Amino acid sequence: MTNLVSEVKGREGKEGDDGASRKSSRGSLLVVNMRGLVNTRKPVRKTLEQLHLLRRFNATIVPDTPAYRGMLKSAKEHLAWCEADFEIVEKLIRSKAESSNGRKVPEEELPRRANYSSLDELARDVASGKLKLDGAQGFRSFFRLKPPRGGFKRSSRRLFTQGGILGWNKELPQMIEKMI
């Protein structure tokens, strides 16, 4: 029995193929729907609805918690995600943030809407997980992105570990810069 317990404890810290077991500093995750909702199973569709990712190339920023990691793992055939860093979050908020009614928010109004003094502070708090953009701050909880300029360099139907773009993707920030 002790061998079994020690074997299970030994597996906990190992990194999985899908990135769902990666340890992080509990910041935020940047998640993009890469496949859309056509022909999806009901549990996956429900997960995508809960993440507010109802269309292809919509992105959102979620806290890095075990609950969200489980949601990402269950829909990994449709999503790509990575840790949200400050630069990408700032570019997303600056160029793609929309108000709750769907209109573009002027750049000077962005920090004021969320009770911040500057856009840098707002982006840092969103990237670190201290603030979640949602209807309470007057923002939409997702960003509408375009298909990447130049197309995908890898398969859009495979996981990142298998030569695709889906699942945990360390190259997602460069791809998102081409999608803004």
Position 136 confidence tier, pLDDT thresholds 50, 70, 90: low
Q: Rank 76-85, 105-114, 123-132 by mean pLDDT and report only the highest.
A: 76-85
- Strand, helix or coil at 52? coil
Cα–Cα distance measured from residue 146 to residue 118, given in angstroms and rounded to the nearest whole number = 27
Strand 143-144 and strand 28-33: the pairing is unpaired
**CATH code, residues 24-180:** 3.30.1390.20
Position 107 confidence tier, pLDDT thresholds 50, 70, 90: confident
Domain ranges across the chain:
24-180
CA angle 141, 108, 83 (to 5 degrees): 40
**How many CB atoms sit inside 10 A of residue 109's CB?**
12
Cα–Cα distance measured from residue 165 to residue 116, given in angstroms and rounded to the nearest whole number = 35
Q: Could you tell me the pTM of the whole model?
A: 0.83
